[in-house]
Amino acid sequence: MAAPLGLYSHVSRVKSGSTIYIAGQVGVDAHGRLVGPGDIAAQMRQTFENLGVALKAAGGSFSDVAKFTTYLTRDGDLAAFMETRKEIFAKLYPAGGYPPNTLLVISRLVKPELLIEIEAVAAV
């Protein structure tokens, strides 16, 4: 195998329990169609729906999430992001106990119409 192209490894190992790594999810539906063009809240709701599907497929749920990493493409969406997360987390984490999250504002994602991407690490 060729050397990594950047600062990462091709393989990692977790020795305790099962760790699930979910690639960044975006606001596209199961058919690959963008949900909510220009609408951070709509894209964010779809992104969390996609995360839920991935977690379930791996035998987990949102209660198993150890960490989120969130990428936004517009700093003007921060207030809407915070408000929408509050709405979503009230349903996903009714007792509180939210997982850590690293939030970054970046210049763009793989497609310019995507406004948010969220990846997760979970332990089941």
Q: How many CB atoms lie within 10 A of CB 101?
A: 13
Does residue 15 have a pLDDT over 70? no
- The residue ranking higher by pLDDT, 120 or 66, is 120
Q: Determine the average pLDDT of the residues in 20-36.
A: 97
**Domain 19-123 has what CATH class?**
alpha beta
The pLDDT of residue 16 is: 63
Is residue 115 within 8 A of residue 35, CB to CB? The reply is no
Is residue 62 within 8 A of residue 93, CB to CB? The reply is yes
What is the value of pTM for the model shown?
0.86
In the three-class reduction of DSSP (H, G, I as helix; E, B as strand; rest coil), residue 19 is classed as strand
